[in-house]
Amino acid sequence: MRYLNCLVLLWLAGGVALEAQEPRLGRINFPTSGPAAAQAPFILGVLYLHSFEYESAREAFREAQDIDPMFTMAYWGEAMTRNHPVWNRRYRAQALAALTKLGATPEDRLATAPTERERMYLQAVETLFVDGTKAKRDTAYMYAMQDLTLMYPEDLEAQAFYALSLLGLNQGVRDYSSYMKAGALAEDVRLVNPDHPGGAHYVIHSFDDALHAPLGLRAAWAYSDIAPAAPHALHMTSHIFLALGMWDQVVERNETAVELTHSGPGHYTAWLNYGLIQQGRYRDAVDLLVVAWANLPDDARLGQRSYLVGMRAQYIFGSERWDDQVLGWEIEVADASRSTRAIDAFTHGYAALRLGRRETAGHFLGVLGSIADEPGEDETPNAAAIPRILQLELEAMLTLDAGLMDEALLAARKATVLEDWLPLEFGPPDIVKPSHELMGEMLLALKRPTEASREFQAALILAPKRSRSLLGLSVAAAQAGDLQTAARAEAQLDLVWHRADPEARDRLSQR
């Protein structure tokens, strides 16, 4: 494991600089009325908070509370660690338990704030955990942070947390108007303080889709240097790199994040797995998958099992090893979300069909239909649509296999329409076989290369430099006589696969 330099420059109350042997997490200026001894761990907690290292932040804020039990902002900080706005999660009971240590009621707690500015911070966080719907509370919090920035326009922390509050309006669905405003605010923070971890982090979250990712590239290059001791910061840069098809950087940053945390199934290993697959490094991808499987505890949490299902699916569809032994692993998914269960059924059904096992594939098509028909009132539009899209894709392949060309293309086209309707997302796709890529491959099989080329190009708009789409485009364009497009796609794939396994490169040379 690589070990990182642990020197950070903290700006303390009144702007006094202090060098301390602390993890490198960035630099902020957040003066409060707390004593100097408590201010140091408080600042450390805020730095961790900006990088979503919530457990470490909580420990730091509690240390500040131990030093001064009446340090109002230390309790504000602990409550903030229980709100995960970008992830659309909130832990109300734990947040109220933290705030209750300061006072029994919101009025009691507000009375402890020595300054109007600190009272406004505390009042803002209180709005996150009152009664009411999550959407209403998020909106109230956003307006509270907006008021704070208007009252104290020089307070960069207020600006940063206001940007984050705008991202928190998403309720699981990317809202471009809020995201663009958040990105602009976070970029302003970066301009004033280039070492601000929140500035870089929130810029990345605002622009981490294929359409807007170029706007976040400077922040992505900077963030891992700003906060190299935060695994999430190292990983977070890859949100922009993946959206731009910069696979070397996706792999490098997530390798480091995994080294700093664990190699079991999780967010960082899933992104690393996907990056390796796009590089054509299937041997390394399956090695990582085997390690993740071996590190799955007997009492594995649902999230760990879901990540493993997704990693396995990405590997199968990337490598096209339809009979790989990893498909024999029994991963419990009965209690998983509809999308996770659909991914698992689709992977097994599609692989079975490619091996000529139509009856098995038909069984999994039925499973997908049942999953797609389940009610899912609490799901986001993306999560709710995934089972239906995967059902249509497998239906299209089964129908094509039966020789019913028009019916097969109709089902595939329905899948592309549904996928195109969904808000753009980030990361390894839950639609593990993108619908435009699938339709391109179907059209290629039907000797319709011009139409296939258009489908692959549509797939590459949603997922730049995805290797299977590039490979398909190079083949389709060449067969259609569009040699310029074919050469461009082949050149891009050659760069993407510069470390690919020999058998992957053989596919490129034999196209």
Backbone angles phi, psi at 434, to 5 degrees: -50, 140
Token reading at 332: 């419990």
- What's the predicted TM-score (pTM) here? 0.91
Cα torsion through 199, 201, 203, 208, rounded to 10: 180
Task: Tell me the residue type at 5.
Answer: N
- Ordered per-residue pLDDT tens for the chain, 511 residues: 222 233 233 333 333 333 345 789 999 999 999 999 999 999 999 999 999 999 999 999 999 999 999 999 999 999 999 999 988 888 999 999 999 999 999 999 999 999 999 999 999 999 999 988 989 999 999 999 999 999 999 999 999 999 999 999 988 778 888 999 999 999 999 999 999 999 999 999 999 999 999 999 999 999 999 999 999 999 999 999 999 999 999 999 999 999 988 888 999 999 999 999 999 999 999 999 999 999 998 888 899 999 999 999 999 999 999 999 999 999 999 999 999 999 999 999 999 999 999 999 999 999 999 999 998 766 777 788 999 999 999 999 999 999 999 999 999 999 999 999 988 778 999 999 999 999 999 999 999 999 999 999 999 999 999 999 999 999 999 999 999 999 999 999 999 999 999 988 887 666 6
**Is 18 domain-assigned?**
no
**Is 351 domain-assigned?**
yes
Whole-number Å distance between alpha carbons of 325 and 328: 5
Whole-number Å distance between alpha carbons of 398 and 408: 8
Q: Taking a C-beta distance cutoff of 8 angstroms, is the pair 238, 254 a contact?
A: yes
| C-alpha atoms less than 13 angstroms from C-alpha of 364 in its C-beta half-sphere | 24
Token reading at 27: 């630099």
Q: Within this chain, do residues 66 and 200 fall inside the same structural domain, yes or no?
A: yes
Q: Taking a C-beta distance cutoff of 8 angstroms, is the pair 311, 289 a contact?
A: yes
Contacting residues for 78 by C-beta, under 8 A, at least 6 apart: 58, 61, 62, 65, 95, 98
| Total residue count of the chain as it appears in this document | 511
Whole-number Å distance between alpha carbons of 378 and 209: 24
Task: Tell me the residue type at 180.
Answer: M
Residue ending a domain, choose from 299, 328, 357:
328
Q: Within this chain, do residues 196 and 105 fall inside the same structural domain, yes or no?
A: yes
Q: Within this chain, do residues 240 and 258 fall inside the same structural domain, yes or no?
A: no
Q: Within this chain, do residues 235 and 308 fall inside the same structural domain, yes or no?
A: no
Q: Within this chain, do residues 363 and 443 fall inside the same structural domain, yes or no?
A: no
Whole-number Å distance between alpha carbons of 385 and 227: 36
Q: Within this chain, do residues 231 and 263 fall inside the same structural domain, yes or no?
A: no
Residue ending a domain, choose from 372, 407, 433:
433
Q: Within this chain, do residues 153 and 239 fall inside the same structural domain, yes or no?
A: yes
Q: What range does the domain containing 417 cover? A: 337-433
Whole-number Å distance between alpha carbons of 49 and 58: 8
